[in-house]
Amino acid sequence: MNYLLAFLFGGVICAIGQVILDKSKLTQADLMVILVIFGSLASALGLYKPLVDMFGAGASAPVSNFGHVLTQGVIEGYQENGFFGVLQGGMAKAAAVLGASIIFGFFAGLLFRPKG
């Protein structure tokens, strides 16, 4: 049942994103920013954590989870270290994701040369 719920929730997020791309003039980068902001706002309001608990990978795999992770890092950093924790909390929480993105992007750039 967990797999089905994850698949359905992740599929709904992807389907909504595809409809937005098809019906608007937004680019994929614009949509990605919108999803990160949505995840961040939902996390700040306490709505995203229950989604992750209920839908597992269906809620933690899409890019909206990056906004959730950053926001939770900022909140935890502020609670531990005050204002300076705001600056370090988000980056500390998301460092693994950012590092992996840089490394995988580098190797993808080596393997696949863009034309143009």
CA torsion 39-41-45-46 (nearest 10°) is: 20
pLDDT digits (tens, 9 = 90+) for 57-93: 899 888 888 999 999 999 999 999 888 888 888 888 8
Is the predicted pLDDT of residue 114 greater than 80, yes or no?
A: no
- The length of the chain in residues reads 116
Which pTM value belongs to this model?
0.80
pLDDT digits (tens, 9 = 90+) for 25-37: 999 999 999 999 9
Residue 47: its pLDDT value, please? 95
Is the predicted pLDDT of residue 116 greater than 70, yes or no?
A: no
**Average pLDDT rounded to a whole number, residues 94-112:** 89
pLDDT digits (tens, 9 = 90+) for 7-20: 999 999 999 999 99
Q: Which two tokens stand for residue 28?
A: 């994929």
Domain ranges of the chain: 2-111
